[in-house]
Structure 1
Amino acid sequence: MSASSGSSEKFSVTPRWNWKLISVGLVLLAILIRLGFWQLDRAEEKRQLLSFIEHQQSLPAISFAAVDSTENGEQLAYRQMQMRGEFDSSHYWLVDNKVFRGKVGYEVVAPFFTSDGEAVLVNRGWVAAPPHREVYPDVSFPESEVEIRGRFIPVSNNKMVRNLGSSAMAGQWPIRIQQLAISDAQQALQSESLINHSLPPEILQLSPNDPSALEMVWRDVNVSASKHQGYAVQWFSMAVVLVIALIVANVRVHKKSLSQQMIDGEQPSGADEPQSNNNKKLGIAQKGSA
C-alpha cells in the first residue's frame, strides 16, 4: 500500500523568475569574479617584483661614488651599494608605528654624508618606543667615519596616511613622522643649511649584518603571492555559492500526487508497467481459450 502510494508521486521543477533578485545577484557575481581576478593580478605582480629584487641583489655591490647620476631609479632599485662617510646624529627621523617581534617602535632614518660631499638618507632599522609617548628613544650613532652597506630602495607613500609633523620639521629634532617623504626631508635639511643640493629619490636600507644597523627584518612584500592566490580562490568560491543560491531561489520543486497527475492529464508514475502486464496476461488467456 505504501509502495504504490510512493510510486504514484511525481516531482516537477518549474522556474519562478525573480528579476529583482537576479539583477542584484548578477551585480554581486560580477564583483566577486572581478575581485578574484584582481587578486590573481596582484599575485603575478608580487612574483615579478620578487624576481626583479632577486636579480638586482645577485648583481655585484657598487660604490655610491661610482653611480652615474643619469641612471634611472629602476637600474639602482634594490642594488647592493656601499659608501663611506658619517651619520648626522643630531638630525634624524623616527618613522612611527613600526612593529618588531610584537613590540611597537620606530624606524630610524638619518642623513649620511659621504666622503665625496653627497648626502643620502639611510634607514638604520628599528628601535623600541619608550612607555611614554612624549619620550623619544635614545638612538646611538657611530662617532666617526664608517663604511656602510645596504640596498637602494624606492620610497613609496600611502596617500591615505597623513604625514603628521612634516610641516613643522625644522628646529625640532628628532622628528616623529608617519611616513618618509623625500621632498619633506630635503626641505628640512636645507632649512638647517645641511645640504644645498637634491637628495637621491631612493633611500639606503642597511644590510642586517652591517655594524651600523639596528634591529631589523626587511620585508620586500607585505602579502605573498600565494596568499593573493588563496584570496582569489575564496572570491571565486563565493561566486560559485552565489550562482547556486540564485538557481535554488529561482526554481520551485513541488510534488504531485496520483490524483493531481490525473487532473493535469499526465500519465501516473508506474502506470505503464501494470497495464503492459495486464495486456500480456489477457493475450495468454485468449490463446488458451482458443
Structure 2
Amino acid sequence: MGLRFRFRGIPFVATVVVVGVGIALGNWQVRRAGEKVAIAAQLHERGMQAPIVLGGGGGVRQDDRVGSRAHPTYRRIQVTGEFVRSWPVFLDNRPHAGRAGFYLAMPFRIAGSDRHVLVLRGWLPRDPREYGRLPEYATPQGTTTVEGVVVDKAGHVMQLGTAAALKPGTIVQNLEVMDVARASGLRLEPFFVQQTGPQVAGDPIVRDWPAPDTGIDKHRGYAVQWYALAAMAALFFVITGFRSGRKQVE
C-alpha cells in the first residue's frame, strides 16, 4: 500500500505561520549574536590600547580629557591622586568563590584637580557571625596611583526593600555614580574605575573581577530553539498529513 498525504488547509496555514515566525526570530537572534561578537571584539581592542592617564602630572591629551567620549567602557585607565577615605560605600550581595561579601566603592580625587572618580576597589568577605558588621581593610594614605578598567555600572542585583539613605559606610545593594555625587557633594566623573592589579600580601581586598558577559552564547542558544520550533512544526504537519491520508485509505 502506497503512502498518501492528506492536505488540510487550516493546519497548513498554521504551520506556515509558526515556521515563518520561528525562522524570523531565529534570524534575529543570529543577528544579535553577530552584533555581540562585534562588541566583544571592540572590547578586546580597547583592552589592548594604551591606558588613559589622569592626574599624572604629565598632562592629558585632549582626546583623553576627563568626561570626554574618549572614555569608552572597558578602556584601561591609570589615575594618580588620593582616596577620599571618609566616603566608603559597600555593595551588598556580591558573592565570590562561594562566599558572601561586598564590593568596596570609594571616591578618588584626581591629582591637580577637584574632580573625582568612583573606584571599585574590590571584594571583601562578610562576617558570617554578624550580618551588619563591616569588613576591615586598608587604604593607601597620600598620593597613589590606581590602575583599572573603565566600567559604566557596578553590577545590578535585585533590590530587596527600600534602599538606605546614602552616607559614608552605607551598605547598599545597587549604586549609581550620580547618587554618590549628590550625597557627598563631590564632583564625580560619570563612570566607575574597576581597580585591577596583583593581590598584595595581607590585603583582604580581592580584585578577581568576573569577565564581561556579552551574551553571545545566549543568543545562539535562542536561535537554535527558534529554528528547532520551525522544523518541528513543519515535521509535525508532514507526519500528521501522512497519518490522516493512511486513515482515509483504510
Is the pair's TM-score, using the shorter chain for normalization, greater than 0.5?
yes
Q: Aligned to 1:138, which of 123, 135, 139?
A: 135
The one-letter code matched in structure 1 to 2:79 is M
Q: State whether residues 125 and 214 of structure 1, in contact with CA within 8 Å, keep that contact through their aligned partners in structure 2.
A: yes
From 121, 126, 129, the counterpart of 1:124: 121
Give the distance between the partners of 1:182 and 1:93, measured in 2 at CA.
11
Residue type of the partner of 2:7?
Answer: P
Show the counterpart of 1:180.
175
Q: CA deviation at 1:256?
A: 8.2
Match of 1:92? 88
Contact 2:107 2:117 in 1 (8 A): yes
Aligned partners of 2:67 and 2:190 also within 8 Å = no
CA distance in 2, matches of 1:142, 1:221: 27
CA contact (8 A) 1:11 1:256 kept: no
> Which ranges in structure 1 are unaligned for 5 or more consecutive residues?
1-8, 261-290
Amino acid at match of 2:77: M
Q: How many correspondences in the alignment?
A: 238
Residue deviations 1:24-48 (CA, integer Å, cap 9, x gap): 5555445433442333233223222
Q: Is the 8 A contact 2:83 2:107 kept in 1?
A: yes
* Distance in 2 of aligned mates of 1:132 and 1:250: 66
Code of the residue aligned with 1:94 in structure 2: it is F
Structure 1 equivalent of residue 5 of structure 2: 13
Pairing 1:114–2:110 present: yes
**Partner AA of 1:218 in structure 2:** W
The corresponding residue for 1:288 is none
Output the amino acid matched with 2:43.
I
Match of 1:149 in 2: 147
Instruction: Identify if the C-alpha distance between structure 1 residues 24 and 53 changes in structure 2 by more than 3 Å, giving closer, same or farther.
Output: same
The CA distance in 1 between the partners of 2:176 and 2:146, in whole Å, is: 22
For residue 129 of structure 1, report the CA deviation from its aligned partner. Answer: 2.4
Structure 2 counterpart of 1:115, one-letter code: A
Relative to 1, partners in 2 of residues 1:178 and 1:71: Cα closer, same or farther, differing over 3 Å?
A: same
Deviation of the 1:106 alpha carbon:
1.9
RMSD: 3.2
Per-residue deviation, residues 73-114 of structure 1 (Å, max 9, x unmatched): x54432222122222333222222223222232211111123
SS in 2 for 1:15: coil
Letter in 1 for 2:151: I
Which is richer in helix? Answer: 1
Give the match for residue 60 of structure 1.
50
Say yes or no: does 1:205 pair with 2:194: yes
Matched, 1:49 2:39: yes
Q: Does the Cα contact within 8 Å between 1:164 and 1:178 map onto a contact in 2?
A: no
Conservation of the 8 A alpha-carbon contact between 1:104 and 1:128: yes
* Range moving further from structure 2, 234-243 or 37-46: 37-46
Listed one character per residue, the Cα deviations across residues 188-223 of structure 1 (whole Å, up to 9, x for unaligned) are: 112xxxx2x3x1111111114275893233344325
Equivalent-residue separation in structure 1 for 2:180 and 2:44 (angstroms): 29
Establish whether residue 104 from structure 1 lines up as the match of residue 95 from structure 2.
no
Whether the 8 Å CA contact 1:157–1:181 is kept in 2: the answer is no
Judging changes above 3 Å, is the alpha-carbon distance between structure 1 residues 83 and 242 closer, same or farther for their aligned structure 2 residues? same
1:33 matches 2:23: yes
Q: Determine the C-alpha separation between the residues in 1 that align with 2:234 and 2:193.
A: 51
Query: Which AA in structure 1 matches 2:49?
Result: L
Quick one: structure 1 residues 155 and 10, their matched pair in 2 at CA, closer, same or farther if it must change by over 3 Å?
Answer: closer
| Distance in 1, Cα, partners of 2:88 & 2:138 | 11
TM-score between both structures, scaled by the size of structure 1:
0.68
Greater mean deviation of Cα atoms: 58-67 or 144-153: 58-67
Displacement after TM superposition at 1:247 (Å): 3.1
Matched, 1:233 2:224: yes
The equivalent position to 1:254 in structure 2, one of 232, 239, 246, is 246
TM-score, length basis structure 2 = 0.78
The answer as to whether partners of 2:164 and 2:172 remain within 8 angstroms in 1 is no
Instruction: Check the 8 A contact 2:147/2:197 in 1, yes or no.
Output: no
